[in-house]
Structure formats: structure tokens, C-alpha cells
Amino acid sequence: MPRIYEMSPHLADLIAAGEVVERPASVVKELTENSVDAGARFITVEIAAGGMALVRVTDDGCGIAPEDVETAFLRHATSKLRREEELAAIGTLGFRGEALAAIASVSKIELRTRERGAAEGVCLTLEAGVKRDKAPVGTPEGTTIAVRDLFYNTPARQKFMKNDRAESAAVASAVTRLALSHPEISVRYVRDGKEELHTPGDGRLQSAAYCALGRDFARGLLEAQNKMDAIAVSGYVSTPAAARGNRSWQFFFINGRFIKSKLLQAAVEQAYKNSLFTGRFPVCLLNVELPLGAVDVNVHPTKLEVRFADERAVFDAVYWAVRGALEREDGPTELPISQSTLRAAGALDPKKLPGAPLFAPEKPGFSSVKSAPSGGFFRHVPVQGQSKAPRPVLPDFELRESIRMPDQSSIPLPGPARPIPSKAPEPDTAPAPDPEPAPAPRRDWRYVGEALNTYVLVERGESLFLIDKHAAHERMLFDKLKSRPHEPAGQLLLSPVICDVDGETAGVLLENANLLTDLGFELDDFGDGSVAIRAVPLDMDLSDPAGTLEEIAGKLRTGGKRDVEAMRDDVLHTVACKAAIKAGKRSDPQELTDLVDKVLSGQVRYCPHGRPVSLELTRSQLDRSFKRA
């Protein structure tokens, strides 16, 4: 029978160090969190050789009393937590009292600290957690902790370290998270003697993001704000066009603490549903403030994960913050937004735009509309305490119609003499041969023409808009199809269309008959790899039914384990894409009018794949290009 012994404190520290101190970046994280907790306004992080040779963190925080410096390095020694009840509402980043002990056990440490207002400071040195020296010292107010030769006494650990470059990169990311989570602190990062980052500490997230993430990141960002009950969400999200190929540009903070959260990630991505290609991820920088008691930070040794008392409420608050930002991003408006739209569309190099706003500011062009007494057209974004469950966001078109500027002349649209009949006639109404549409409401825009068989040109106010008619139409159709969920919305064909597809395609289609029926299809097995189409969703283009079915089958086939909702969307994408006005095809004037209306009112901004549908050129941009300004 093996005997049982209590571990020596040093052994326990070493084991704890394995959890808390994984690499130099973890040392940086723990030391800077202590600086934040100490009320620092300035924090400097210096490293040498990827942090393996040296990590030094200097702050101007409250300092440590000389009689407490040794205690700070004891395991479970903390100034942040006294009583059990306090654990339920932790307002500091640290509380476990393990970091200094853990770091000290695997390195050589020099601590210099002076309390605010104290005559002198103290210097303490330790090796592998054992005190070497302690003496009074002249040092600025605040604390400097230098950690040298990390893992020098645990060679096994040292072997796991990556090269300096990789470790430096991890440190940089820790510093970035610090800077973003505390814009009120000026953060400086020096690597091998070279300053890599210096944030102003002016309290503005924009400033910190600009310094830490660069101009590229700042491009195409929208402000997101929402307050629901006690949960406040603030920060920035990207336009769909500025999405990235991975999630490394998603930052979440809870009460100033950087965290990883599948829940928040899902809330954000849900809000972008149908505006992004699969494989594209929104960029975000979101801080969620909520009562300390509503979040448990004590679930993970490095506190990277948290638990929410009410996950649904947090999800909704974030979801609506993002939806609100995307809804407000009404592309075609006055100057500032137009630049961001252009940039998002890749049409302008932001470096060449003097004074281009870093972040999309409030859109002046629509602000008056938003505050319309009718409640504004953002009424689906719940204000405090309203609806909790995200529901489909339906554009409120009538409302916009009624508040369109009435004072400009309407110019009729030129178009083909013979309109293309509506694709979805009422059963008993033959397509009207009359090209005169119902008296058009007076519009505030003028149709200029169509260029390159693809782009509709429209003038409004002091701006010229180029609209990708296929992309815009595709979006409109997709939204229309989506807004009739779960009800058969098919149009019965006079006689079935027989499509020769291959056997496998036919098999996939018939296997998914339920889903397809739901969307308005009616398909029958016609044998020998043929399928009979008896009904199709409204609006579906019938010029190439076999091609459409093959494409749909392709999507269903790769659908595999995805949820039904995603597969439905995929099928609808195909239907919408096939039915949308093709580049080169002449368009029905009424169709075009609707399309322009929807684009200019901001209802249609991105095609279902996330490509922008319009580009605005303002007079001032054109004047500048022609040197008229």
C-alpha cells in the first residue's frame, strides 16, 4: 500500500504553475492583470528573447507595502478576496492568489515597488520561489516586476517553448487584449528594445483598436450599442464585406476582461446570418457590461472562460447590438458613410482619403429618418426590456416609403417598350400588357442609365450610385423567399417539366423531398435519373430547371451534418440567384424601380453571399477626382 503525503508547497506551486504559467504570454497576462487591479494608468511591458530571457511589467499602480511583498508571493495570498461571499461578485481581474507564486516558482524574480506617497520603496529578489534578498530602494511609485529565465528550473517545460518569434507573437496578442479591454490605460509594449505598441489611454476604444490592430482592422467597422435590462453591450462589428477568413479578429470582453465565449460568438454570427459566405467570419470588438453577480469568472484557472447566470439574456443583448449596427449601416447616404461603403467595396484606398473616418460614424443622412415620430424603422430592435427572443427581422418598407423626401421631381424610368410579365401571376390574372405602372410615388432619385450591362446608375441628391442589379435583385428575392418560411409557396406548373439529371442527383433530391416541398417544390421520381418538376417556388426561373436542380442537389449533398435551416437557406440562395435579373438581361422598369428603392432606402445592402450591392460616389469625391474642389 503506497503511503500518502501532503505535497511540499514548492511542489504544489510547480503543479499550479503548469496551469497558470504556460508560456511567457501567460506571465504577461498575469502581471498586467495585477497592474490593472492596482489601478494603473500606465503599463509598460518589455520582453527579451520572446519573453524567455525577460518579461518586465512596470505600472504606476498602488504599489505594495514593504511588509507585504513576501506574502504576495505565497500561494493563495491575495488582497482581493477575503470572504466567501465576495467570490460571487468579483470586480477585479485576479482573485485566486496564485499567479505570483506560480511564476516565481519557475523563474528568477526581481520586484521593485513603492506605495503611493511612501518615502521609499522596496526591492525583493527570489529564485525558484525562494527569497534571495530584500532591501529598501529608490524607485518610482508603482510596481515593476522582472521575470527572468522562465522555466530555467523545469527543463522539461522549456522544451515545449516555441521559437522566440512565436512566443513574441503570443505576448503581443496578450498585450493587445489588455490594451483593448482597458482603453483608459496607456499600454506600451517593447520587444527587444523596440517599441511595438503604445496606446494613448484616452478611454476611447477606437484609439486603442487603431493602435493595437491597425488601420486595416478599423476599416469597415460599425458601432454597436445595446442596453437590455442590466446588460450593456458596446463596441464595433464589421460590415459583412469586411469579414475575415477566420475568427481571430473576434474580441469579447466581459466587464473589462478578455474572454473566449462560444455563446457570444454564436450571437454575433447569428446576427450576420445570410449576409456572409460560409467560411467568412465577422470581425468584432464587443464589451459586455453586466452586474458582477450575473457572471461567474471562477470556472477556469486562467479565467479565459466565464459562465453567465442568464445565457439567453446575454445572447440576446449581443445579438441585438449587432443587428442594430448592421441595420443602421444604410449604405447610400451622405459623405462619411459613403466612404466607408466605398472602402468596404474595395473601391477606394483609405490611405488616399484625407480625413477618412476610421470608424463609420453616425450616418447623418438618415438620422432624421431614424428619429421619425412614427417610432423609426428600427422598431424591431427592442429597446430595454422588450422582446427577448431574436425573431426574423422584417424590413419595414411602408414606413420608409412614407417618409421619403417628397419635394423632388420624379423622373420616369425609361425601359423596354414591352414589360417582362411578372413571374408569379395570380392564378386568374393574365400578365397585364399595359406598360404604364400604377402612378409611381414621387421619388427622390433619378434613373441615369445602365452601364456595362450590369450596373444601374442612379442619381440622388449630391451622389451617384452604381447598383449591381443582379446582386441587389438576388437579395430581394432571397428575402422574399425567406419571409415565407415553412409554408408551401410553390407555383404549380401547367405541365410537369421532366429533367434528365443523373441518378445520384435524382436520389439526393428525392431524399430531401420534405425540405424541398416545404420551399415550394414538388418533385417526382421519373425513373432513369429523371425527375418531374410539378411545382417550383414562386419567382423561380424556369429557363434551366435541370441546371437549377443539379445545383440544389450539390448543396444538399455537401449539406451533410448541417442543420436544416442552413440547407434551406442554401437552396433559397440558388433559387434567388437563378431568378435574379442576369447581367445583360433587360429589366422590367417596375422591377428596377423597386430595386433602386430598396437599395437606396438601405433595405438591400448585401447579396446573400455578402457582396455589396451598391457603390456611392459623392459629388465631393468626383469633384476631388477632377480637381474641381
Residues of this chain that bind Mg ion (CB under 5 A):
34, 94, 99
Q: Does the protein bind ligand ADP through residue 298 (CB under 6 A)?
A: no
Q: How many helices (H) and strands (E) does the chain have?
A: 19, 22
35 interacts with, out of ligand ADP, Mg ion, none, CB within 5 to 8 A per kind: ligand ADP
Cα–Cα distance, 410 to 405 (Å, whole number) = 11
Nearer to Mg ion, 32 or 261 (CB): 32
- Residue 61 CA to residue 468 CA, distance in Å, equals 56
Q: How far is the CB of 139 from ligand ADP (least distance, A)?
A: 12
Given the C-alpha cell 431568378, which residue does it identify?
Answer: 579
Residue 103: CB partners within 8 Å, gap ≥ 6? 17, 20, 21, 27, 30, 31, 109, 147
Of 47-106, binders to ligand ADP (CB under 6 A) are: 59, 61-64, 72, 77-80, 94-101
Q: Which is nearer to Mg ion, 53 or 77 (CB)?
A: 77
Least separation in angstroms between residue 61's CB and ligand ADP is 4
Instruction: State the binding partner of 282 from ligand ADP, Mg ion, none, CB within 5 to 8 A by kind.
Output: none
The binder of 541, among ligand ADP, Mg ion, none, by C-beta within 5 to 8 A per type, is none
Choose, by CB under 6 A, the member of 20, 25, 35, 197 that binds ligand ADP: 35
H-helix segments, 375-461: 397-402
Q: Cell numbers at residue 415, please?
A: 425601359
Min CB(231)–ligand ADP separation in Å: 26
Return the residue matching grid coordinates 465565449: 261
C-alpha cell at 230: 442590466
62 binds, among ligand ADP, Mg ion, none (CB under 5 to 8 A by kind): ligand ADP
> Which listed residue (34, 275, 341, 621) binds ligand ADP by CB under 6 A?
34
| DSSP assignments along 295-311, one per residue | EE-TTSTT----EES-H
Rounded CA separation 69/111 (Å): 8
Q: Are 253 and 36 in contact (CB under 8 A)?
A: no
Nearest 5°: CA angle at 581, between 576 and 584? 140
User: What angle, rounded to 10 degrees, do the helices at 564-579 and 545-559 form?
Assistant: 160
Which CB, 30 or 570, lies closer to ligand ADP? Answer: 30
- For ligand ADP, the binding residues in 135-194 under the rule CB under 6 A are 143
Q: Give me the least distance between CB of 140 and ligand ADP, in Å please.
A: 13
CB of 36 to Mg ion, least distance (A): 9
Q: Of Mg ion, ligand ADP, none, which one does residue 64 interact with (CB within 5 to 8 Å by kind)? A: ligand ADP
Pairing verdict, β 250-254 and 284-289 = parallel
Q: Which is nearer to Mg ion, 110 or 525 (CB)?
A: 110
Q: Give the one entry of ligand ADP, Mg ion, none that residue 95 binds, where binding means its C-beta sits below a cut-off of 5 to 8 angstroms depending on kind.
A: ligand ADP
Q: Could you tell me the three cell numbers for 365?
A: 443622412
What is the binding site for ligand ADP (CB under 6 A)? 30, 34-35, 38, 59, 61-64, 72, 77-80, 94-101, 143
